[in-house]
Homo-oligomer: A and B are copies of this chain.
Amino acid sequence: MARIVGLDVLDVRFPTSRELDGSDAMNPDPDYSAAYVVLRTDEGPDGYGLAFTIGRGNDVQAAAIGALAPMVVGRSTPDTPAELAALSAELVGDSQFRWLGPEKGVAHMAVGAVVNAAWDLAARRADSPLWSFLAAMTPEQIAGLVDFRYLTDVLSEQDALDILRAAEPGRAERAAHLRSAGYRAYSTSAGWLGYSDEKLVRLAKQAVADGFGMLKLKVGGSLDDDVRRLRLAREAVGPDVRIAVDANQRWDVPVAIEWMRALAPYDPYWIEEPTSPDDVLGHQAIAAAIRPVRVATGEHVHNRVMFKQYLAAGALDVLQIDAARVGGVNENVAILLLAAKFGVPVCPHAGGVGLCELVRHLSMFDYVAVSGTDADRAIEWVDHLHEHFTDPAIVRGGRYLAPTQPGFSARIRDESLERYAFPDGPEWRDNPA
């Protein structure tokens, strides 16, 4: 029987602010970072996970992950669905640590990083990519991963089983389709707020030429700029390419409604994060006011209880899971089931550090075994930092290829860990922040 014998945490930061990659209305100068965790075992592979942050505070995130070590080190490796559920429940439910959230922010992201590392480990031990490791489970095993606490007024275990059993026919065909054709992506690489008009137009055209059917632009800095940039993008790509816009929480509710009415002539596909991610009722009001433009959110929605309300209130039209914001795979399975219950498409947030690598597994699992469809669904694609991963996300012709290596793809290359270690790695030592 293998055991977890150590939990290592590393503070890794990439100096993305130097190039304005990732710049948006709320985040002008992010240094994309990972609080990175390794579950070391006494035999066989180790497990890898991470929480994504944008710089300052990554040390706090790392400290929170480290604080979970006593709950993990010394355990036998969780290999079965029931063992993985038990680990998740224990970490989420620790009666003292829970006070720091509950189930939100730094403490919850720390749980998510460790839970994801445990899933990475289990999938490696099963010699399977995470998406197919999950998709090979029975409906009962999958439902057993979920903590239904606080969900049962909207989603019961029986509801979950009904959804999962309805998706059983066709699993093999859909998995085969993923292996041959991948999963639809959309591109955000053109639209960072810090880019010039010329760069925006050039990158938008390039994205369409590369096979993307949907792009995304950052908005929310200045209305005049946004109108001009959306118009330029629309002219560049024509009427048939979807263009989403993303305000990164910049607006109050009345401003969001006014701003989106001004952008509506250029046919934005969705408005993402128009206001505070906590404001379910605010999103509900915005959604009602701006239809047929869709409302999307999720990358900062902190747990399944919030998503439950968003769905029950009709406050979002597109649900954006994030692999590293909530409590890990188990909670994301709950969120996928909630979305399926309401028939709302899931279009994951990605980018950052490792989010593309991780979240593609969850969308592919959803397609095979939960919603059973990829209609109106696409995974965000941002083309940087992938070179630091041992199993990088690959997009060809506007589609994510299905991962084939065992695990959850969160492992960062040793040389990158060394170079970008904060604050003592050579990248930071030679160019202090």
Contacts and interface: CB of A to CB of B under 8 A. Distances in A.
Nearest to A277: B102
Interface residues of A, number: 61
B99 A54 contact: yes
A242 B153 CA distance: 30
A100 interface: yes
A258 to B, nearest CB: 12
A275 B152 CA distance: 12
Copies in the assembly, this chain: 2
22 contacts: A26-B95, A30-B99, A31-B96, A53-B100, A56-B67, A57-B99, A60-B60, A60-B67, A60-B106, A60-B107, A104-B278, A104-B302, A105-B106, A149-B252, A150-B252, A150-B278, A151-B252, A153-B254, A278-B306, A281-B309, A281-B312, A282-B309
A124 interface: no
A152 B254 contact: yes
Contact of A104 (B27, B59, B97, B104): B104
Contacts of A366: none
A106 B95 contact: no
Contacts of A305: 276, 278-279, 282
A235 B416 CA distance: 68
Contacts of A27: 95-96, 99
Contacts of A280: 280-281, 309
Interface in A281-337: 281-282, 285, 300, 302-303, 305-306, 308-309, 312-313
A63 interface: yes
A138 interface: no
A249 interface: yes
A365 B96 CA distance: 32
Given A281-B309, A281-B312, A57 B26 contact: no
Contacts of A83: none
Nearest to A149: B252
A55 interface: yes
A54 B281 contact: no
A253 interface: yes
Given A150-B276, A281-B280, A281-B309, A249 B54 contact: no
A96 B153 contact: no
Given A30-B96, A152-B253, 20 more contacts: A27-B96, A28-B95, A56-B96, A57-B67, A59-B67, A60-B67, A100-B105, A100-B106, A100-B109, A103-B278, A104-B104, A150-B276, A150-B282, A153-B252, A153-B285, A278-B305, A278-B306, A279-B308, A280-B280, A282-B305
Contact of A100 (B29, B60, B152, B278): B60
A96 B54 contact: yes
Interface string A83-107: 0000000000011111111111111
A380 to B, nearest CB: 17
Nearest to A352: B99
Interface in A385-418: none
Nearest to A249: B102
A54 B278 CA distance: 25
Contacts of A100: 53, 57, 60-61, 105-106, 109
A218 interface: no
Contact of A57 (B64, B152, B254, B303): B64
Contacts of A98: 26
Of all A-B residue pairs in the complex, the 7 with the closest CB atoms, nearest first, are: A105-B105, A55-B96, A106-B106, A56-B96, A153-B253, A278-B305, A63-B63
Interface in A261-277: 275-277
Given A26-B95, A252-B152, A282-B153, A60 B63 contact: yes
A108 interface: yes
Contacts of A149: 252
Residue among A29, A95, A300 having the largest count of chain B Cβ atoms under 10 Å: A95
Contacts of A277: 102
Given A63-B63, A252-B153, A282-B153, A105 B95 contact: no
